């Protein structure tokens, strides 16, 4: 996903909302990383305790299947476009991992100090699964 793409598209007024029925018998290009990022960062698939518990969001697979079924129902062919692999350095990965570990430890400390709501918010600041990892669902 291009950094700032959503903001740029909004400022250029490139987004349009139409009923799915207007796209019948058409192909729909979907930027896959942005699609997955929206899924994991918004309800109902956003699960703030996921970093504490591990695994995938419980409702993610069902949400994707439901959206694909809606496309099929309206004879829409979705095409997911993947922008390619990112080659982050090992140092960047290490720093991100260390930061995540500190955040998780702090969240557990909050939980242990009888501050469960604050702990959930702290866990929710992390996203353990990048969109590229979750792309296998598509």
Using one digit for the tens of pLDDT, what is the confidence trace for 70-111?
999 999 999 988 876 566 666 666 777 777 778 888 888 888
Which residues, listed in sequence order, are joined to residue 79 by a DSSP beta bridge? Answer: 29
Which residues, listed in sequence order, are joined to residue 80 by a DSSP beta bridge? Answer: 30
Backbone angles phi, psi at 75, to 5 degrees: 55, 45
The confidence score (pLDDT) of residue 71 equals 93
Q: Exposed, middle or buried: residue 118 (CB in 10 Å: 0-12, 13-18, 19+)?
A: middle
In degrees, rounded to 5, the angle at the alpha carbon of residue 48 between the alpha carbons of residues 37 and 7 is 35
Its pTM surpasses 0.95: no
């Amino acid at each position: 996903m291009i950094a700032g793409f959503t903001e740029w598209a909004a400022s250029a007024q490139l987004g349009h909302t139409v009923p799915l029925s207007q796209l019948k018998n058409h192909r729909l290009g979907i930027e896959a990383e942005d699609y997955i990022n929206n899924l994991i960062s918004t309800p109902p698939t956003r699960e703030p305790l996921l970093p504490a518990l591990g695994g995938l969001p419980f409702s993610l697979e069902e949400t994707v299947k439901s959206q694909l079924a809606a496309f099929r129902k309206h004879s829409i062919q979705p095409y997911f476009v993947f922008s390619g692999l990112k080659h982050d350095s090992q140092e960047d990965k290490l720093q991100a991992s260390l930061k995540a570990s500190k955040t998780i430890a702090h969240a557990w400390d909050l939980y242990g100090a009888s501050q469960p709501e604050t702990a959930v918010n702290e866990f929710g600041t992390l996203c353990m699964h990048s969109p590229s990892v979750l792309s296998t669902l598509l």
